[in-house]
């Protein structure tokens, strides 16, 4: 990675770091910044793909990949959206860890844009975390969906 790409990454994330009260990196070549939002949510800002900012939120709550009640809603949320860039959720098959990420061109991000992207990803990741912590209703206890017949 050339120095100008690292500088571009640092320039784009600087307003977000300042907003969070964090000092700028002393290493101008640094392409990864990890932010511990709270005890259960970590967000990483990555500049390793030239010309792009990748933002990833990782949750400590594990998802049982055999539990369709949890897995299907998480993965079906990856549909098309009018928001740019889309937020993509994934569950690691081997560990069950859930990640939510987005990728956007650095050229499309100004100060307001990088803050808005971070806030949007953080809000979505927090909502998923809270949902994963809730107990699921028993399958027989749920209300039938509109048009669904209960046998």
| Tens-place pLDDT, residues 66-95 | 888 888 888 777 766 778 899 999 988 888
Q: Are 91 and 65 in contact (CB under 8 A)?
A: yes
Q: Calculate the CA 109 to chain-centre distance.
A: 17
Q: Are 84 and 6 in contact (CB under 8 A)?
A: no
State the CATH architecture for 3-134: 2-Layer Sandwich (3.30)
* Averaged pLDDT for residues 42-71: 90
pLDDT value at residue 79: 62
Q: What share of the chain is helix, strand, coil (3-state, %, to 5)?
A: 35, 25, 40
| Tens-place pLDDT, residues 11-42 | 899 888 888 888 776 776 778 888 888 888 89
Q: Per-residue pLDDT for 10 more than 50?
A: yes
Closest CA to 100 of 116, 82, 133, 123: 123
């Amino acid at each position: 990675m050339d120095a100008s790409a690292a500088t571009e990454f640092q320039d784009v994330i600087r307003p977000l770091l300042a907003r969070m009260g964090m000092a700028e990196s002393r290493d101008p070549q640094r392409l990864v910044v990890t932010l511990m939002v709270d005890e259960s949510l970590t967000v990483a800002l990555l500049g390793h793909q030239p010309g792009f900012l990748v933002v990833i939120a990782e949750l400590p709550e594990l998802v049982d990949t055999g539990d369709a009640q949890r897995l299907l809603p998480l993965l079906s949320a990856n549909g098309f959206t009018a928001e740019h860039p889309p937020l993509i959720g994934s569950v690691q098959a081997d560990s069950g860890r859930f990640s939510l990420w987005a990728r956007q061109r650095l050229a499309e991000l100004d100060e307001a844009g990088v803050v808005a992207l971070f806030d949007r990803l953080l809000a979505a990741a927090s909502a998923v975390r809270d949902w994963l912590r809730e107990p699921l209703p028993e399958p027989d206890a749920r209300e039938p969906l509109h048009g669904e017949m209960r046998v």
